[in-house]
Chains A and B, each alone.
Chain A
Amino acid sequence: MKLLNHTLKYLAIILPLIVGIWAALFYFNLVDEVEDSLDDGLDNNKMLIIQQAHSDSTILLNNEFNERNYAIRKIDRDQALSMRDTYSDTLIFVINEQDFEPYRLLKTAFRVQDQYYELQVISSSLEKDDLTEDILYSIIWLYIILLLSVLIINNLVLRKIWSPFYQLLSKIGQFSLDKNPMITSTPTNVKEFKELDERVVRLAEQSAATYSSQKQFLENAAHELQTPLAISINKLELLSEHEDIPQKHLETIGSITNQLQRLTRLNKALLLLTKIENRQFAMQEKVQINPLIRQLVEQFEDLATSKNIQIQLVEVGELVLTAHPDLISILISNLIKNGLVHNISGGQVKVLITEDSFSVSNSAQGAALDPKLIFRRFQKFTSDSQRVGLGLAIVKAICDACNLQVDYSWSNGFHQFSCGLRK
């Protein structure tokens, strides 16, 4: 849920509470005020009536309300003395409405020439149920109007205020360490956003600097290793050509050369990885996968035969991928080589090409491998010392660079790597 709507959600919950409490207070205050003024009026009426009763005794005979707003009846002394002024609500039938309407009633007692009377004065009062209803409707309207205005303010004003934030957010989303451009500063007047912006830009710059210096280091280290490796290997080669070297020493030279060549392979693989990650293979073109795979399968035929493994190529469709031709060739040969190396004698490597993907599967002993681990660098699943453990890491890096997807699965004793366009 968006930030803007979050505020709306909480306001929607809290506003009825606030408005409700306010309405209740308002109602009781209003009723109190109205009754107060009614009571004052009744009190005033009472005094006027009593005054008049002293001068005009006919009033004392008026013992029904009828058209007047008061009624008087005789009572005895004890009753009168125990009586206090009491205000109360009552219902009186009114002709115009043909219904009982709420009235305020004042009951009191007074004396005229040793005779005690009870006086009841009434005054038309507030219709409380109508009032409650009115207030309820008003607060519902108020609530709706408040919510609408919050919504409008959010969408017009807050959206504008928060726009630097969303801009920054989208920049961060697009940011990738190995891609340019960097996160650029977003102009804003809001202090917090300005601060956030500055820090994010700085953080991104720092990460990019660290990343690139690490890459640079790896690349330089690998480069610097090439020349000493070349010298060592070539010197051993020259040494081995001397005629007077005994066979025993030649074997030693052979094993040193093997180790140096292993180092060279590791170094080359690392260089290739850094280059792929540095996007130095920018060129992309349409590559016909079928003839490429046919050619690579043929290249591996001898190796397969010597390992007693059968390579089976099935072409269901014609596959064309957009990628760097050298990279895609490395990708496929790494997968085939992987299938040949981690195989069993008398095993199989199956290569399947369909219209939208290709897959390489190989028979193997053991069980499924962890798909999260297999593409990691230097992840070795065999104890074979000659392998450098970068083949599948390179496959993954190439797929990432060429926007392809590679998946691993295991079924019926076959490891399968399938590769196609990213979905």
Chain B
Amino acid sequence: MKILVVEDEPDLRGILVESLEKQQYRVETADNYGQGLEKIISFEYDCILLDVMLPGGSGLDLLRELRAMEKSDRVIIISAKDAIDDKVLGLELGADDYLTKPFHLAELHARVKSVIRRRSEKATTKINIGNLEIDLENRICKVNSKDLNLNRKEFDILEYLSVNKNRLVQRTALAEHVWGDYMDEADDFEFLYSQVKNLRKKMKEAFCNLEVKAVYGLGYRLEINDEVTGE
């Protein structure tokens, strides 16, 4: 999978590259409008992360070029501007998604995965990790082909952690993703802890060989726990 990062801020570009490479993507970069344009014309990418404000031109103009080539569906706009107009315009121009800086890397990965998944030929709507299978379309979880009954929040948490497996998912990222933006100012995460507790219990009872590991003070990480074996 090949990803193009068009971002002029070197530090942020570095972070994006490092984080994406960890997930086994091949990453190329462009730091201005001209370079970006050259790369999108010359090469094929599975996903393009596009900053709106670029030296030499607007990311939205690049998006117009991409639309002319019918390639705008793989674009995720990243912008420091939370301007609704930009967002609306970007999405109207065919961009797949819009992320506002600062964002959580976990959220970025979830969005990148979703773009790639939607564009892949046999539209995979299933995630398989360990003995867990998540059917994203029908919102069903199975452990060893047996249904795992989760409520909506638990499903969302597990899905998000699965998309970011083996990565630390910060609890604020999780709270925002599952409960919506309004939760970001929650002064404690009790509501999150109790849902995770229930999720863990259900996974354990189903002999799932995945473990939601807590990283104190930060968040959670979904890891394969080989010690647990099926029935």
Contacts and interface: CB of A to CB of B under 8 A. Distances in A.
B168 to A, nearest CB: 5
A3 interface: no
B102 interface: yes
A247 interface: yes
A384 interface: yes
Contacts of A255: 217
A251 B219 CA distance: 11
Interface in A259-317: 261, 264-265, 268, 271-272, 275, 280-281, 296, 299-300, 302-303, 305-307
A85 interface: no
Contacts of B101: 226-227, 229-230
Contact of A254 (B11, B103, B216): B216
B80 A250 contact: no
B184 A265 contact: yes
A234 B216 contact: no
Interface in B149-200: 153, 167-168, 170, 172, 179-180, 182-188, 190-191, 193-195
Given A254-B216, A254-B218, A271 B82 contact: yes
Contact of B11 (A235, A247, A253): A235
A240 B172 contact: no
Interface string B69-102: 0000000000011111100000000000000011
A326 interface: yes
A254 B182 CA distance: 21
B12 A227 contact: yes
Contacts of A386: 185, 187
A231 interface: yes
Contacts of A231: 9, 11-12, 15
A240 B218 contact: yes
Interface in B1-58: 9, 11-12, 15, 18-19, 22
A241 interface: yes
A223 B182 CA distance: 21
B228 interface: no
A242 to B, nearest CB: 10
A254 B179 CA distance: 21
Contacts of A275: 82-83
A57 B217 CA distance: 147
B218 A250 contact: yes
B60 to A, nearest CB: 17
A29 B18 CA distance: 112
Interface in A330-386: 333, 337, 341, 384, 386
A241 to B, nearest CB: 5
A257 interface: yes
Nearest to B104: A237
B140 interface: no
B215 interface: yes
B105 interface: yes
A336 to B, nearest CB: 8
Interface residues of A, number: 46
B37 to A, nearest CB: 23
Contacts of A240: 168, 215, 218
Nearest to B103: A230
B190 A307 contact: yes
A387 B152 CA distance: 29
Interface string A102-128: 000000000000000000000000000
A250 B170 contact: no
A384 B186 CA distance: 11
B195 to A, nearest CB: 7
B105 A238 contact: yes
Contacts of A237: 19, 104-106, 168, 170
Interface in A190-234: 223, 226-227, 229-231, 233-234
Contacts of A341: 187
With a 10 A CB-CB cut-off, give which of A223, A231, A391 has the most chain B CB atoms: A231
A253 B218 contact: yes
A268 B184 CA distance: 11
Contact of A238 (B18, B80, B85, B172): B18
A238 B105 CA distance: 8
Contacts of A250: 215-218
A391 to B, nearest CB: 8
Contact of A230 (B18, B80, B170): B80
Given A240-B218, A261-B172, A302-B153, A234 B183 contact: no
Given A237-B168, A241-B22, A387-B187, 9 more contacts: A223-B80, A226-B102, A227-B9, A227-B80, A227-B101, A234-B105, A268-B82, A299-B183, A306-B188
Interface of A: 223, 226-227, 229-231, 233-235, 237-238, 240-241, 247, 250-251, 253-255, 257, 261, 264-265, 268, 271-272, 275, 280-281, 296, 299-300, 302-303, 305-307, 326, 333, 337, 341, 384, 386-388, 391
28 contacts: A227-B12, A229-B102, A230-B80, A231-B9, A233-B102, A233-B104, A237-B104, A238-B105, A241-B167, A247-B216, A251-B217, A254-B215, A254-B218, A257-B170, A268-B82, A272-B82, A275-B82, A280-B85, A281-B84, A296-B182, A299-B179, A299-B182, A302-B153, A302-B194, A303-B179, A307-B190, A333-B182, A386-B185
